[in-house]
């Protein structure tokens, strides 16, 4: 099993979420986060003054899947989150040792 963490633009969340749902991946966790990468931030103006905003709002999607589904998930996220501009995000794939469903006690692939 793998945990996929994707950091994407907030404006792309609905597209990614709906595409994952359409592909049968319903169990996801969404968090609002802030961060920066190569993009470095943006310069904004407010009342004639310039401000550097170096931590930009992003959305983190977390989903645990079977090893066989990893490439499918990555492709869905990339297809639906990509704008072609700096700041589109990153995807991290992390090994998962064990999963337990609290309600039933099911474990591992039966719990995802």
Residue 27 near residue 101, CB atoms below 8 Å: no
Res 45: pLDDT = 80
Q: What is the pTM of this model?
A: 0.84
Residues of the chain where predicted confidence (pLDDT) is lower than 50: none
- Collect all residues with Cβ–Cβ distance below 8 Å to 14 and sequence separation of at least 6: none
Q: What is the pLDDT at residue 17?
A: 97
Distance, in Å, from the CA atom of 48 to the CA atom of 102, rounded to the nearest integer, reads 54
Cα distance between residue 27 and residue 69, in whole Å: 13
CB-side exposure of 10: number of CA atoms within 13 Å?
A: 8
Q: Which fold has domain 2-111?
A: Alpha-Beta Plaits (3.30.70)
CA atoms of 30 and 41, how far apart (whole Å): 22
Token pair in block for residue 112: 């995802």
Residue 39 has a pLDDT of: 67
Question: 42 CB contacts (<8 Å, ≥6 apart)?
Answer: 52, 53, 56
pLDDT for residue 53: 76
Tokens 């591992």 correspond to what residue? Answer: 108
């Amino acid at each position: 099993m793998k945990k996929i963490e994707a950091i994407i633009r907030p404006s792309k969340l609905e597209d990614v979420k709906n595409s994952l749902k359409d592909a049968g991946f319903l169990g996801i966790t969404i968090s609002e986060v802030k961060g920066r990468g190569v993009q470095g931030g943006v310069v904004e103006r407010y009342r004639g003054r310039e401000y550097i905003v170096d931590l930009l709002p992003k959305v983190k999607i977390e989903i645990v899947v079977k090893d066989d589904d990893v490439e499918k998930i990555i492709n869905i996220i990339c297809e639906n989150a990509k704008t072609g501009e700096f700041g589109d995000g990153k995807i991290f794939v992390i090994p998962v040792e064990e999963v337990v469903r609290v309600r039933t006690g099911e474990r591992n692939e039966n719990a995802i």
